[in-house]
Amino acid sequence: MEKVIESIKAREIFDSRGNPTVEVDVILSDGTRGRAEVPSGASTGEKEAVELRDGGTRLQGKGVHKAVMNVNQDIAQALKGTDPFNQALVDQMMIDLDGTENKRKLGANAILGVSMAVARAAANSLKVPLYRYLGGTDLELPQTFHNVINGGEHADNGIDIQEFMITPVERDSFRDGFEKIVNTYHVLKKVIEEAGYTTGLGDEGGFAPDLSSSEEALQMLHDAILKAGYTPGKEIAIAFDAAASYFFNRETKNYDFEGKTYSPRELGEYYASLFEKFPEIISIEDPYGEEDWDSFAEFTEKYGQQIQIVADDPVCTNPKLIREAIKKGMANSILIKLNQIGTVTKTLEAIRLARKNGYTTMMSHRSGETGDPFIADFTVATNSAELKSGAPARSERVEKYNQLLRIEEELGQAGTRLAHFPDNVDYD
């Protein structure tokens, strides 16, 4: 008997920041259920697909009853009887039903919830793990990037760089790398406390001390790695997301950063000084604003051979924008967020496009997360070499890492991805 989508039901739930979001159940004709919860970002690019909110006074205007209604009425009716194993067809039907460039009619939160739930229902119906259903065989676990000091839009403190991350480089297994991160995270807390700062947490589980500068944050990471017993850059490396759109001055085309004004060239020189002082930095995300493509490309040409340069806000997981960025020579890595583009199929297209052109891909969570570990399975399924999903704190973050531990157990040694970045720096 052919299995088809029997019914779809959405509801309003709440994410890790206490804001409303969409949860979707897809029921197949054999009774199989697939459930998905949609994440939400705080640091959002202007080119992202539209997250439909209700407006008005209820829940500060952030309610998602409109998106829920769109799922329960228009989308449910359109997809009833559709083949759940044809993900591309399901996703395209919703895109056509919406009929807009940025999914503003039905809402990307409505469409993505259904897209993810259909994939999970199909996997459940076949009684295979989601990562196996979407990815097949010959899979590996990712290298993870953990936001352990928050700044910018993710914290109320004095540093403008948004995320300071640590990542395990030299490791025997995923678990070994994660344990190194956990050890460093706990030592970092002591380093921050000993410096006289508080250790409150930001949205993504990282500490949010009121530091004087981004350089001070990097020094604390360096010290914590050493005190945890690891070699900076060899066992634990550093990455950061500048999220420069938030300190880009659109009138002057300069960058107002931590009390100073930098021209694009001067900002690039500042980053270069950080690379020189902290050679364990291996990746930088969004060093320039989403409108400043020329500076982004010039920076990539100058430093792209020595460091990973990740584009997020300028491209927003949109294949059309990624093609333009590739032609421009901007970045050498693409950040991937499911809810930026709104469907599983379009996200897969973005990943294939980046890889085809020699770019790495870094899968990413959002600051408003849920307990749904979909992204963990999806990262393994797509063989994305990298994943950032927050600090090893807060259950909505840790659940992604716990799911990866389970997947590693299932895949065995074949799923172990060893050092992803080449050891080409003199760390002594």
pLDDT at 157 over 90: no
Read off the pLDDT band of 43 (50, 70, 90): low
Is 30:125 a contact under the CB 8 Å cutoff?
Answer: yes
Query: Which amino acid belongs to residue 72?
Result: N
**pLDDT computed for residue 421 by the predictor:** 63
Mean per-residue pLDDT of the chain: 93
pTM of the model: 0.93
CA distance 283 to 167: 10
What's the distance, CA 234 to chain centroid? 24
CA distance 212 to 248: 20
Query: Which amino acid belongs to residue 346?
Result: K
Q: Which pairing describes strands 254-257 and 260-262: parallel, antiparallel, or unpaired?
A: antiparallel
CA distance 147 to 370: 17
pLDDT, mean of residues 206-211 = 92
Q: At what angle do helices 264-277 and 214-227 cross, to 10 degrees?
A: 20
CA distance 359 to 357: 6
Q: Is 245 labelled a binding residue?
A: no
Q: What percent of the chain has pLDDT over 70?
A: 93
Residue whose entry in the numeric block shows the structure tokens 């590996």: 140
Q: Is 340 labelled a binding residue?
A: no
204 is catalytic: yes
Read off the pLDDT band of 425 (50, 70, 90): very low
Sort 227 into a burial class: Cβ within 10 Å, 0-12 / 13-18 / 19+: middle
Catalytic residue among 204, 280, 369, 386: 204
> What are the tens digits of pLDDT across the range 244-299?
999 999 999 999 999 899 999 999 999 999 999 999 999 999 999 999 999 999 99
Q: Up-side HSE of residue 251: CA atoms within 13 Å toward CB?
A: 2
List domains and CATH numbers for the chain.
5-127 (3.30.390.10), 143-411 (3.20.20.120)
399 is catalytic: no
Q: Work out whether the CA dihedral 161, 162, 164, 167 comes out positive or negative.
A: negative
How many other CB atoms sit within 10 Å of the CB of residue 423? 11
Q: Is 352 labelled a binding residue?
A: no
Q: Is 367 labelled a binding residue?
A: yes
Q: Is 365 labelled a binding residue?
A: yes
**In whole angstroms, how far apart are CA 40 and each of 176, 243, 299, 340, 374?**
30, 17, 30, 9, 14
